[in-house]
Amino acid sequence: MSPEAERWVEAAKVLAMDPTAKVVCPQRLDGTLAVHDEPCGEGMIERYLICDVCGAKNVIRMRAP
């Protein structure tokens, strides 16, 4: 796994537990990730992780908190 992929995995773990945590952008290390949740089925959400500077994003699917 690339170092960037490892940083995305760690960011996802942190933000899955605490969506208000301040996490540095795993792609360019130039901003922080903002979180936006969308329902995606019964009891599930997609949590979008989006850099406030470069726009890099990733999505995790998880049980609704």
pTM above 0.85, yes or no: yes
Q: How far apart are CA 38 and CA 64, in angstroms?
A: 10
Instruction: Find the DSSP H helices in 1-65.
Output: 3-17
CATH match for 3-63 among 3.40.50, 2.60.120, 2.60.40, 2.20.25: 2.20.25
Distance CA 32, CA 6 (A): 16
- Interatomic CA distance for residues 43 and 65, integer angstroms: 9
Per-residue pLDDT tens digits for 16-65:
999 999 999 999 999 999 999 999 989 999 999 999 999 999 999 999 98
**Burial group, residue 23, by CB count within 10 angstroms (0-12, 13-18, 19+):** buried
Task: Provide the pLDDT confidence category of residue 7 given band limits of 50, 70 and 90.
Answer: very high
Q: Give me the residue spans of the domains in the chain.
A: 3-63
Q: Give the span between the Cα atoms of 46 and 44, in whole angstroms.
A: 7
